[in-house]
């Protein structure tokens, strides 16, 4: 999560110092991804020899993935994601073969989740707030089935109309998300993402027919849309569109747009903001390439309280 937000700025991977003032260096993104891949690879190998059960309980979010064998599938799913981020597409396909990926419309939500609750010692799901509503462009941008005229089923599943529009940052939305209460889980990784990761890996390897098959499968079985010809389905733009609607509000949109598209496209979704009260144009939103390294960490890394950046190390 840290390297996803900091991207090219890098992150610390040496965090085992006994002296908390002995900071590990900020490593550049390729080194961080390599380190994560090695950790997950080692974990998968160890889980293969970990017996039939764990000696400790896991939360309800790990239901179905709470033995060494099934937990290994979860680890391999994460490994596939990181390989895709790192452009190791054949390695990603190999990891997916050993994950829980399956083409089954009834198992799109199969996966591992963060658990929340309202009981003693639990943490509630704080995404359940009227301060967060659906972006007003989600519904207009969605496709409709040319035959039935029905809007993308993921919009119907994931959005619900508000009794009154809510305005945030100058944008008025009439939709909220359907799937968050104080106790609703949030996916860490689930089968629908794995199918799209396989499509991306095959697209990266030039296997356009295989990529189109998975993208079209998601279009039909998750979106209720018709299939596209291979040349239209097997593109980064189409993959990005399917990830947008399949993984809506699961923490992927900004990262995906940075990887597969143009961050400026996110600004275009906000062009319809009204002018300011005095009639002047509303200031455009700023979409950063990365989250900055916090100033106290920069100061600690550089020894200079006035420093604002720290160079990563390969």
Contact at 8 Å (CB) between 154 and 175?
Answer: no
CA distance 302 to 312: 11
pLDDT of residue 274: 66
Cβ neighbors of 11 (< 8 A, separation 6 or more) are: 2, 3, 26, 27, 32
CA 72 to chain CA centroid, nearest Å: 20
pLDDT of residue 140: 94
CA distance 130 to 110: 28
pLDDT of residue 271: 63
In this structure, the number of other CB atoms found within 10 A of the CB of residue 214 comes to 25
E-strand stretches of the chain: 11-12, 26-27, 111-114, 159-168, 171-177, 186-190
Tokens (6 digits) for 122: 């639990």
pLDDT of residue 67: 98
For helices 208-221 and 236-246, the axis angle rounded to 10 degrees is 30
Can you give the pLDDT of all 314 residues of the chain as single tens digits? 999 999 999 999 998 877 777 889 999 999 999 999 999 999 999 999 999 999 999 999 999 999 999 999 999 999 999 999 999 999 999 999 999 999 999 999 999 999 999 888 889 998 878 888 999 999 999 999 999 999 999 999 999 999 999 988 778 899 999 988 889 999 999 999 999 999 999 999 999 999 999 999 999 999 999 999 999 999 999 999 999 999 999 999 999 999 998 888 887 766 666 666 677 776 667 789 999 999 999 999 999 999 999 999 99
Tokens (6 digits) for 129: 């707030």
């Amino acid at each position: 999560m840290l390297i996803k937000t900091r991207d090219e700025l890098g992150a610390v991977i040496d965090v085992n110092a006994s002296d908390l003032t002995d900071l590990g260096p900020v490593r550049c993104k390729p080194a961080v991804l390599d380190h994560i891949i090695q950790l997950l690879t080692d974990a998968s190998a160890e889980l293969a020899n970990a017996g039939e059960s764990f000696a400790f309980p896991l939360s309800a979010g790990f239901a179905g993935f709470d033995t060494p064998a099934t937990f290994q599938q979860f680890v391999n799913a994460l490994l596939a994601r990181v390989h895709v981020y790192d452009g190791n597409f054949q390695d990603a396909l190999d990891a997916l073969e050993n994950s829980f990926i399956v083409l089954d419309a009834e198992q799109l939500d199969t996966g591992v989740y963060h658990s929340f609750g309202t009981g003693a010692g639990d943490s509630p799901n704080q995404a359940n707030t009227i301060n967060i509503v659906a972006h007003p462009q989600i519904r207009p941008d969605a496709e409709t089935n040319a035959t039935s005229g029905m809007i993308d089923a993921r919009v119907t599943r994931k959005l619900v109309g508000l009794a009154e529009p809510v305005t945030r940052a100058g944008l008025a939305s009439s939709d909220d998300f359907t799937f968050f209460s104080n106790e609703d889980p949030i996916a860490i990784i689930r089968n629908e993402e794995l199918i799209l990761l396989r499509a991306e890996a095959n697209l990266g390897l030039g296997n356009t027919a295989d990529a189109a098959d998975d993208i079209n499968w998601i279009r039909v079985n998750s979106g209720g849309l018709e299939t596209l010809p291979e040349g239209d389905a097997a593109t980064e733009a189409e993959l990005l569109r399917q990830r947008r609607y399949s993984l809506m509000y699961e923490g992927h949109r900004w990262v995906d747009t940075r990887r597969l598209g143009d961050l400026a496209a996110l600004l275009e979704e906000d062009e319809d903001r009204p002018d300011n009260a005095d009639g002047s144009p509303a200031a455009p939103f700023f979409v950063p390439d990365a989250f900055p390294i916090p100033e106290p960490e920069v100061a600690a890394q550089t020894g200079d309280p006035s420093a604002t950046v720290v160079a990563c190390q390969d």
